Amino acid sequence: MFKSIKIFSFLISAILLISSCKKDELDIAALTDFPPGMLSISPSDGGKVVAGNFNVKVEFVDGTTSPLASGKVTLVDASGVELATASENLSGILDSIIIEGTTFNAADLAIGVYGLNISVTDAKGQTATKETTFEISLLPFPANHDEMYIAGAFNGWGADPMTLVADHTWEIKEIDLQGEAWKFKNTPDWTDEDWGDTDCDGVMESNFNGNGDTACGYSGLVNVQFNDQTLTYTVRPAVEFETNLSGLYLLGSFNNFEGSDNKFTLVANNTWELAEVELTMGDLFKFSEGPFFMGSNFGDSDADGIAEEFGNNIVFGEQSAFYKMTFNDKTLAYSYEFVRFPSIGIIGSATPGGWDTDTEMDDNGDGTFGVAITLVDGVVKFRANGSWTTNWGGTDFPTGVGTQDGPDIPVVAGDYIVTFNPATGEYNFEIDAGITSVGIIGPATPGGWDEETPMISNGDGTYYLIIGLTDGEAKFRANGNWDLSWGGNDFPSGIATSDNGPDIPVTYGLYVVNFNTNTGAYSFEPAIISIIGSATPGGWDVDTDMTPDASTPSVVKGTFDLTDGEAKFRLDHDWVISWGGSDFPNGTATSDNGPNIPVTAGTYDVSFNVVTGEYSFD
DSSP string covering 150-167, please? EEEGGGTT--EE-EEEET
- Apex 408 CA angle, 425 and 519, nearest 5: 50
Domains, the chain: 30-137 (2.60.40.1220), 153-234 (no CATH), 249-340 (2.60.40.3620), 344-431 (2.60.40.3620), 438-526 (2.60.40.3620), 529-617 (2.60.40.3620)
pLDDT higher than threshold 70 for residue 308: yes
CA–CA dist 263, 281 (Å, integer): 21
CA 417/CA 413 separation, integer angstroms: 13
Q: What is the pLDDT of residues 76-105, one digit of tens each?
A: 999 999 999 999 999 999 999 999 999 999
At residue 446, what is the residue type?
A: P
pLDDT above 70 (res 16)? no
255-280 pLDDT per residue, tens? 999 988 899 988 889 999 998 999 99
Residue 29 has φ and ψ, to the nearest 5°, of -60, -40
Element containing residue 532 per DSSP (H, E): strand 529-532
> How many C-beta atoms lie closer than 10 Å to residue 398's C-beta?
15
Query: What's the average model confidence in pLDDT over 128-135?
Result: 95
Residue 6 above 70 pLDDT? Answer: no
What would you report as the CA-atom Rg of the chain, rounded to the nearest whole angstrom? 31
What's phi and psi for 18, nearest 5 deg?
-65, -35
Report pLDDT for 31.
57
What is the pLDDT at residue 248?
A: 94
Rounded Cα–Cα distance for residues 144 and 566 (Å): 37
Q: Please state the rounded mean pLDDT for residues 542-549.
A: 96
The H-or-E segment that residue 16 falls in is helix 2-19
Residue 20 reports pLDDT greater than 50: no
| pTM score above 0.75 | no
Angle, alpha carbons 536-540-545 (nearest 5°):
55
**305 φ, ψ (degrees, to nearest 5):** 85, 0
Between CA 128 and CA 68 the distance in angstroms is: 11
Contact 277, 326 (CB under 8 A): no
> Alpha-carbon distance 155 to 135, whole Å?
32
Confidence of residue 149 (pLDDT cuts 50, 70, 90): very high
Q: What percent of the chain has pLDDT over 90?
A: 73
Residue range 468-489, pLDDT digits in tens: 999 999 999 999 998 889 999 9
3-state secondary structure of 107: helix
Q: Where residue 220 falls among pLDDT bands split at 50, 70, 90?
A: confident
Could you give the CA distance from residue 463 to residue 434 in angstroms, rounded to a whole number? 15
Q: What percent of the chain has pLDDT over 70?
A: 94
What CA–CA distance (Å, rounded) separates 240 from 226? 19
Q: Over range 1-25, report the average pLDDT.
A: 41
Q: Quote the pLDDT of residue 438.
A: 94
Cβ contact 374:352 at 8 Å: yes
Cα 171–chain centre separation: 20
Amino acid present at 206: S
pLDDT surpasses 70 at 341: yes
| Whether residue 446 has a cis bond before it, omega within 30° of 0 | no
For residue 51, which of 110, 104, 103 has the smallest C-alpha distance?
110
* pLDDT of 15 over the 60 cut: no
The whole-number pLDDT of residue 175 equals 94
pLDDT at 527 over 60: yes
Q: Which residue has the higher pLDDT, 276 or 18?
A: 276
Q: With bands split at pLDDT 50, 70 and 90, how would you rate the model's confidence at 18?
A: very low
Q: Please tell me the predicted confidence (pLDDT) of residue 14.
A: 41
pLDDT at 48: 87
Please state, rounded to an integer, the average pLDDT across all residues of the chain.
90
- Amino acid (one-letter) located at 503: D
Count, residues in the chain? 618
**pLDDT band at residue 334, thresholds of 50, 70 and 90?**
very high
Question: Model confidence over 182-218: pLDDT tens digits?
Answer: 999 999 999 999 999 998 889 999 998 888 999 988 8
pLDDT in tens, 367-406: 899 998 889 999 999 999 998 989 999 999 999 999 999 9
Where does the pLDDT of residue 499 fall: very low under 50, low under 70, confident under 90, or very high at 90 and above?
A: low
Please tell me the distance from the alpha carbon of residue 322 to that of residue 254, in angstroms, as a whole number: 13
